[in-house]
């Protein structure tokens, strides 16, 4: 591929090499780890790819990461500094995250003064105490990380870190489920969680509500305008807001208008804005493509979610968990009654027309004239059909390309309708039901 691009006159990277064996790849990476200063550019590592397109196709992808490419990062430069304090931060999920405040020090080109310690277990495992001299580096060139404590330099005055038993923001008890590393605040409407939720909901890539910065949200919570969840935003009145410190009539009017405008965002943004764990913008867009609205999504069985291309078991479980919680279902009801668009009308109509293969099982064999497997699969799924990997009694149609395998024999044996590759592509494009596919 690179040679091909180079021949076409594109500028390609100078250092690349094809290997037949993984041992050689590893050797090559280690060799360049020592010689990275010789590159005429800054680099933090190398990329290893499977070069055969056929094998790439077989390996496929998980969400945005292909299974056929891997980054090898060179170890980052390490420096030492002192842990001055360990403080607790609470995020959107209610997790209590201990963060080390460090004596500021330059690491790999920038000044570092804080490093997340992730959780209590991590601190115990590394035995990090306040006052310790520690070795730090930047993981992935970005995130400062404490690697280890230099125990030889301990004076005996170091203080062991103790996880608080109540939330530092709302004073509710915290809990750490058996077998889990993360400690969480038990209060579902903890101010810190609420604040994080609102910030995420209002962020540019989510519902894009201007005028809702961190300080403003804190104020709205402190003054009682927001006390349950993000739906409280839609109850705020201009006259009441205008009386707030530093607000005034103009800002209040603008804020309410910005909130009003957010009622009409595309479905994928709303799904992202809900802040379901592991559901980023990309996954949200996939879900919005598959379902007409949040209410439909909330009723989808776990198994069906897992069958969607690019949605793994972890993401599916997280979506299921989100919609199994009563407070989240209430939130969706409240958003709906506030006038937030929780479904997409246009798509509903389109889909009525398109769902012509609902409940039908397809199996594909051989090479199709113009489509690859994933494209064919996506089209079948978009029209309500399912794609299986082997022919069985449950199979409705076998789509046959060139060089079909043993699946064709099996299909004939079981009397399953066979659709030619060309025929399938025509009916996919024209959205028609071809001969032999009348149902
Ligand atoms: Zn709390």
* Nearby residues for ligand 1 (ion, Cβ within 5 Å): 167, 169-170, 172, 185, 187, 190
The answer to whether residues 215 and 242 belong to one domain is yes
Q: What pLDDT sits at residue 186? A: 86
Please give the pLDDT value at position 189. Answer: 77
* The last residue of a domain, from among 23, 47, 73: 73
273 C-alpha to center of ligand 1: Å?
21
Q: DSSP labels for 198-231?
A: HHHHHSTTTT--TT--HHHHHHHHHTTS-SSSGG
Structurally, how many domains does the chain consist of? 5
In this structure, of 168-177, 332-341, 380-389, the range with the lowest mean pLDDT score is 380-389
230 CA to centre of ligand 1 in angstroms: 17
| pLDDT at 348 > cutoff 70 | no
Q: Are residues 260 and 312 in the same domain?
A: no
pLDDT (0 to 100) of residue 377: 86
Distance CA 76, CA 108 (A): 8
Can you give the pLDDT at residue 434? 53
**Domain assignment present for 285:** yes
Q: Which tens digits make up the pLDDT trace of 129-173?
A: 999 999 999 887 778 999 999 999 999 999 999 999 999 888 899
- For residue 392, report the distance from its CA to the centre of ligand 1, in Å: 53
Same-domain status, 96 and 148 = yes
Q: Do residue 342 and residue 385 come from a single domain?
A: no
Task: Compute, in angstroms, the gap from residue 379 CA to the centroid of ligand 1.
Answer: 46
Q: Is 410 part of any domain?
A: yes
State the number of CA atoms in the 13 A half-sphere of 326 facing the CB.
0
Does residue 183 form part of some domain? no
Domain identity same for 292 and 259: no
Ligand 1 center–CA 175 separation, angstroms: 11
**For residue 90, how far is its CA from the centre of ligand 1 (angstroms)?**
8
Q: What separation in Å is there between the alpha carbon of 194 and the centre of ligand 1?
A: 9
Domain termination residue (choose one: 315, 335, 351): 351
Binned at pLDDT 50, 70 and 90, residue 30 comes out as confident
- Same domain for 260 and 196, yes or no, is yes
Average pLDDT over residues 391-406: 86
ipTM over 0.90: yes
Containing domain of residue 336, as a range? Answer: 267-351
Q: What are the pLDDT digits (tens) for 191-215?
A: 888 999 999 999 999 999 999 988 9
pLDDT band at 274 (very low <50, low <70, confident <90, very high): very high
CATH number of 418's domain: 3.40.50.10190
Q: Quote the percentage of the chain above a pLDDT of 70.
A: 95
| pLDDT(439) > 80 | no
CA of 228 to the centre of ligand 1 (A): 13
Statement to judge: residues 32 and 86 lie in one domain: no
Q: Kindly give the distance from the C-alpha atom of residue 251 to the centroid of ligand 1, in angstroms, as a whole number.
A: 30
Backbone φ/ψ region at 156: left (φ over 0), alpha (ψ -120 to 50), beta: left
Query: How far is the C-alpha of 31 from the C-alpha of 38, rounded, in Å?
Result: 12
Q: Does a structural domain hold residue 437?
A: no
* CA–CA distance, 398 with 364 (Å, rounded to integer): 6
CA 89 to centroid of ligand 1, rounded, Å: 10
Tell how far the Cα of 184 is from the centroid of ligand 1, in angstroms. Answer: 8
């Amino acid at each position: 591929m690179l040679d091909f691009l180079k021949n076409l006159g594109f500028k390609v990277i100078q250092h690349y090499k094809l290997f037949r064996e993984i041992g050689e790849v590893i050797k090559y990476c280690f060799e360049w780890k020592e010689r990275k200063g010789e590159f005429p550019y800054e680099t933090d590592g190398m990329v290893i790819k499977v070069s055969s397109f056929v094998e790439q196709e077989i390996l496929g992808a998980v969400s945005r990461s292909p299974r056929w490419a891997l980054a090898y990062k060179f170890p980052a430069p390490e420096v030492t500094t002192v842990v001055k304090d360990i403080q607790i931060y609470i995020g959107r999920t209610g997790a209590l995250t201990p963060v080390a405040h460090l004596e500021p020090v330059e690491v790999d080109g920038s000044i570092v003064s804080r490093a997340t310690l992730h959780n209590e277990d991590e601190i115990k495992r590394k035995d990090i105490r306040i006052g310790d001299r520690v070795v730090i580096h930047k993981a992935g060139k970005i995130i400062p990380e404490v690697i280890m404590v230099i125990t030889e330099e301990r004076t005996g005055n170091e203080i062991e870190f103790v996880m608080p038993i109540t939330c530092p923001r709302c004073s509710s008890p915290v809990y750490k489920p058996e077998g889990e590393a993360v400690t969480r605040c038990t209060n579902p409407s903890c101010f810190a969680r609420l604040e994080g939720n609102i910030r995420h909901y209002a962020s540019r890539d989510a519902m894009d509500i201007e005028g809702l910065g961190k300080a403003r949200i804190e104020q709205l919570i402190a003054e009682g305008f927001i006390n349950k969840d993000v739906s409280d935003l839609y109850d705020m009145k201009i006259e009441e807001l205008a009386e707030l410190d530093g607000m005034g009539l103009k800002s209040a009017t603008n804020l309410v208008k910005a909130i009003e405008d957010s009622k009409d965002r595309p479905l994928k943004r709303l799904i992202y804005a809900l802040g379901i764990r592991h559901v980023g913008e990309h996954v949200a867009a996939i879900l919005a493509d598959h379902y007409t609205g949040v209410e439909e999504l909330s009723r989808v069985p776990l198994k069906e979610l897992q069958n969607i291309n690019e949605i793994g078991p972890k993401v599916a479980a997280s979506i299921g968990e989100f919609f199994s919680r009563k407070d989240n279902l209430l939130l969706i009801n409240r958003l709906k009654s506030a006038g937030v668009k929780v479904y997409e009308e246009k798509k509903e109509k389109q889909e009525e027309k398109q769902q012509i293969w609902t409940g039908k099982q397809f199996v594909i064999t051989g090479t199709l004239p113009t489509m690859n497997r994933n494209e064919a699969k996506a089209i079948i799924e978009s029209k309500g059909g399912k794609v299986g990997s082997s022919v069985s009694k449950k199979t409705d149609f076998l789509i046959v390309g060139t060089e079909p395998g043993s699946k064709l024999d099996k299909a004939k044996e079981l009397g399953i309708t066979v659709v030619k590759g060309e025929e399938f592509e025509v009916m996919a494009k024209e959205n028609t039901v071809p001969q032999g596919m009348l149902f």
